[in-house]
């Protein structure tokens, strides 16, 4: 309560300053940035009291003070804070890669592929069929011929199946969860991240072949293949460079972590490789191939620098939620979200059974796969740029779906971790003779 009163006072102070001076620019952005951190932090602490993840609190604060509600944070400020978002995404990718253990990947790689493949396949088909059934109510499909329905339905579904590494990593960092459910969820999310970018590229190429847009294409299949495939050697090289650096010195790792992230991001942009995937591989190599625990030290430095970045990143994500659109489109989005959740649940059950995962690990897995955030938004932007007319309506619908999943997904994942008893790292490994998952 004390913090809420102080926030109200700060809000008043901001209005007073704005009234007293005509200046703005960087000063106003910094002022708003500070307020957003304090508001999001307070909302995050408040959310814990309601047994909600902190990141939901951050997002709510962003939405409340964002351009579509109170208007404290205006579009130029959201724009000015975008570099923080870029840094957050890059840090998340690096930390995600560093979370992956080589030995565990060797042991469980095939299982992860089975679960991910089945889950993505089932969810894609479910959403695709749902869109076809609901086509008369969906703005960009209503009255269109079957070719358009198939092309846009496939494109929409390829974005709708995306998960969120950002929410997953942020929640694992927040709850300090450690255990089979946490590890499997992270593994599936990361493998799926690679797969969906590939799937989206195929869906977009097919859509452009079936429904030529006239807009500038996103590039040839070869370019797309390089974007994905090239991320592996580029990420490997950057990772090895970091390993070499860590062999010589481990001083000033806090600053080095941020510099390395910016460096990796810049190299990925220059080499036209997928930045998230490049940094993910960089993190994986840096952690698994460095000596004497220096990779672990770097990862801890990254996590330390990421904590405040997460607050801003999710608060900004909240500020970008278009509340009027959410209010307008929720009756249409809700069935799609439910079909998606159902598809994920059935898909993970089937995949887990195929991979012979223990039941206690398989049962809550779907709850960790609901959330969507940065990657999905990136793909939506590409899709809408490829189809300026229909793409705009598709964008609005998908962003509303993402906003819904982003919030609900975080709550569900936290619940799954709690149920599994993995919050705070306090879980036992599942017994080897645990029963397989029921279908």
Partner 1 sequence: MSSALLLVVLVAVAYVAAKLAFQWIGRHLLIVSGAEYLLLGILLGPQVSGLLSPESLRTFIPFMTLALGWMGAMVGMRWYLPGMVRLRGVFYRLAFVQSLATLVIVTGASLLVLQRLFGVTPGYALMPALVLGAIATSSASDAVQLIIQRLGRRSLVVRQIEVAVGMDSLLAIATLAAVFCLNHVGTPLLARSPTAVEWFVISCAVGVAGGALFHLFLGEERDPDRLFISLAGAIIFVTGAASFLQLSPLLPGLLMGAILANTSRNRQQIEDVLHSVERPLYFVLLLCGGALWRPAGGAGLIPVLVFLVARMMSKVYVSRAAAQLNDMTQVLGPNWGRALIGQGGLALAIAFNYLIESNSFFPDIIFTAAVASVLLTDLASARLMQKVVTTSPYEVRNSGEMRPPAEAAGLPRAQAASVDGAA
Residue number with CB closer to partner 1 (18 or 210)? 18
Q: CA 287 to CA 91: how far, in whole Å? A: 14
- Which stretch of DSSP H or E encloses residue 337? helix 323-355
Using CB under 8 A, which residues numbered 273 to 332 contact partner 1?
Answer: 304, 307-308, 311
10 to 29: interface string for partner 1, x by CB under 8 A: x--xx--xxxxxxxx-xxxx
Residue number with CB closer to partner 1 (32 or 78)? 32
Cβ-based neighbour number of residue 247 at 10 Å: 12
Q: What b-and-e string marks burial along 267-295, b requiring 16 or more CB atoms within 10 Å of the CB?
A: bbeebebbbbbbbbbbbbbbbbbbeeebb
Answer yes or no whether residue 245 interacts with partner 1 by CB under 8 A: yes
Please name which of 326, 314, 383, 416 lies closest in space to residue 162, comparing C-alpha atoms.
383
One DSSP character per residue, 409-434 reads HHHHHHHHHHHTT-GGG--PPPPTTP
Beta bridge partners of residue 358, listed in sequence order: 436
Beta bridge partners of residue 436, listed in sequence order: 358
Tokens of 430: 């599942």
Q: CA 334 to CA 178: how far, in whole Å? A: 32
Answer yes or no whether residue 254 interacts with partner 1 by CB under 8 A: yes
Of 15, 30, 107, 334, the one binding partner 1 (CB under 8 A) is: 30
Answer yes or no whether residue 146 interacts with partner 1 by CB under 8 A: no
Answer yes or no whether residue 74 interacts with partner 1 by CB under 8 A: no
Answer yes or no whether residue 346 interacts with partner 1 by CB under 8 A: no
Answer yes or no whether residue 206 interacts with partner 1 by CB under 8 A: no
Of 115, 162, 243, 267, the one binding partner 1 (CB under 8 A) is: 267
Answer yes or no whether residue 8 interacts with partner 1 by CB under 8 A: no
Answer yes or no whether residue 222 interacts with partner 1 by CB under 8 A: no
Residue number with CB closer to partner 1 (270 or 428)? 270
Cα angle 345, 350, 355; round to 5: 125
Please name which of 188, 159, 182 lies closest in space to residue 170, comparing C-alpha atoms.
182
Q: How far is the CB of 228 from partner 1 (least distance, A)?
A: 19
Of 71, 142, 202, 249, the one binding partner 1 (CB under 8 A) is: 249
Helix, strand, or coil here: 273?
A: coil
Residue 51 makes CB contacts below 8 A (sequence gap 6+) with: none
DSSP 437: P
Residue number with CB closer to partner 1 (104 or 252)? 252
Residue number with CB closer to partner 1 (156 or 313)? 313
357 touches 433 (CB < 8 A)? no
Answer yes or no whether residue 32 interacts with partner 1 by CB under 8 A: yes
Answer yes or no whether residue 49 interacts with partner 1 by CB under 8 A: no
Residue 149 makes CB contacts below 8 A (sequence gap 6+) with: 131, 132, 135, 141
| Helix, strand, coil % over all residues of the chain, rounded to 5 | 80, 0, 20
Answer yes or no whether residue 137 interacts with partner 1 by CB under 8 A: no
Cβ-based neighbour number of residue 245 at 10 Å: 16
Answer yes or no whether residue 38 interacts with partner 1 by CB under 8 A: yes
Answer yes or no whether residue 35 interacts with partner 1 by CB under 8 A: yes
Answer yes or no whether residue 1 interacts with partner 1 by CB under 8 A: no
130 touches 335 (CB < 8 A)? yes
Q: CA 324 to CA 363: how far, in whole Å? A: 36
Q: How far is the CB of 275 from partner 1 (least distance, A)?
A: 14
341 touches 370 (CB < 8 A)? yes
Q: How far is the CB of 29 from partner 1 (least distance, A)?
A: 6
414 touches 325 (CB < 8 A)? no
Answer yes or no whether residue 3 interacts with partner 1 by CB under 8 A: yes
Answer yes or no whether residue 263 interacts with partner 1 by CB under 8 A: yes
Interface with partner 1 (CB under 8 A), residue total 50
Answer yes or no whether residue 37 interacts with partner 1 by CB under 8 A: yes
Of 6, 142, 225, 334, the one binding partner 1 (CB under 8 A) is: 6
Residue number with CB closer to partner 1 (247 or 328)? 247
Residue number with CB closer to partner 1 (222 or 270)? 270
Q: How far is the CB of 255 from partner 1 (least distance, A)?
A: 4
Q: How far is the CB of 302 from partner 1 (least distance, A)?
A: 13
Of 147, 223, 252, 389, the one binding partner 1 (CB under 8 A) is: 252
Which residues form the interface with partner 1 (CB under 8 A)? Answer: 2-3, 6, 9-10, 13-14, 17-24, 26-35, 37-38, 41, 45, 80, 83, 241, 245, 248-249, 251-252, 254-255, 258-259, 263, 266-267, 270-271, 304, 307-308, 311
């Amino acid at each position: 309560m004390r913090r809420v009163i102080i926030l109200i006072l700060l809000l008043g102070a901001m209005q007073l300053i704005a009234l007293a001076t005509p200046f703005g620019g960087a000063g106003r952005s910094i002022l708003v940035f500070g307020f957003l951190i304090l508001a999001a932090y307070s909302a995050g602490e408040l959310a814990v009291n309601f047994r909600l993840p902190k990141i939901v609190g951050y997002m709510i604060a962003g939405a409340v003070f964002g351009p579509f509600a109170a208007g404290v944070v205006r579009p130029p400020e959201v724009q000015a804070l975008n570099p923080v978002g870029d840094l957050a995404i890059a840090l998340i990718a690096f930390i995600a890669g560093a979370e992956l253990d080589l030995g565990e990947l060797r042991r469980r790689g095939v299982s992860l592929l089975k679960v991910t493949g089945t889950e993505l396949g089932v969810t894609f088909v479910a959403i695709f069929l749902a869109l076809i059934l609901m086509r008369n109510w969906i703005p960009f499909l209503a009255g269109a011929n079957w070719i358009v329905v198939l092309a846009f339905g496939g494109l929409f579904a390829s974005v709708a199946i995306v998960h969120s590494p950002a929410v997953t990593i942020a929640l694992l960092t927040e709850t300090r969860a450690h255990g089979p459910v946490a590890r499997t969820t992270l593994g599936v999310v990361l493998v799926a991240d690679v797969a969906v970018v590939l799937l989206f590229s195929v869906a977009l190429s097919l859509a452009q072949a079936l429904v030529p847009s006239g807009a500038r294409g996103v590039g040839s299949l070869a370019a797309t293949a390089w974007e994905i495939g090239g991320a592996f050697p580029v990420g490997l090289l950057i990772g090895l460079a970091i390993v070499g650096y860590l062999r010589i010195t481990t001083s000033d790792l806090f600053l080095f972590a941020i510099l390395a992230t910016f460096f990796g991001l810049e190299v990925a942009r220059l080499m036209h490789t997928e930045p998230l995937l490049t940094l993910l591989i960089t993190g994986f190599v840096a952690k698994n191939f460095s000596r004497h625990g220096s990779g672990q030290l770097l990862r801890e430095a990254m996590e330390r620098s990421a904590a405040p970045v997460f607050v801003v990143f999710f608060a900004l994500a909240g500020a970008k939620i278009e509340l009027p659109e959410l209010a307008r489109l929720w009756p249409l989005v809700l069935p799609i979200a439910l079909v998606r959740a159902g598809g994920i649940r059935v898909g993970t059950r089937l995949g887990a059974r195929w991979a012979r995962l223990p039941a206690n690990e398989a049962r809550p897995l779907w709850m960790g796969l609901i959330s969507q955030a940065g990657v999905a938004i990136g793909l939506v932007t590409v899709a809408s740029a490829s189809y300026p007319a229909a793409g705009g309506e598709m964008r609005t619908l998908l962003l509303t779906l993402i906003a819904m999943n982003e919030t609900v997904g975080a709550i569900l994942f936290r619940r799954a971790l709690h149920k599994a008893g993995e919050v705070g790292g306090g879980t036992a490994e599942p017994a080897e003779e645990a029963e397989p998952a029921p279908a």
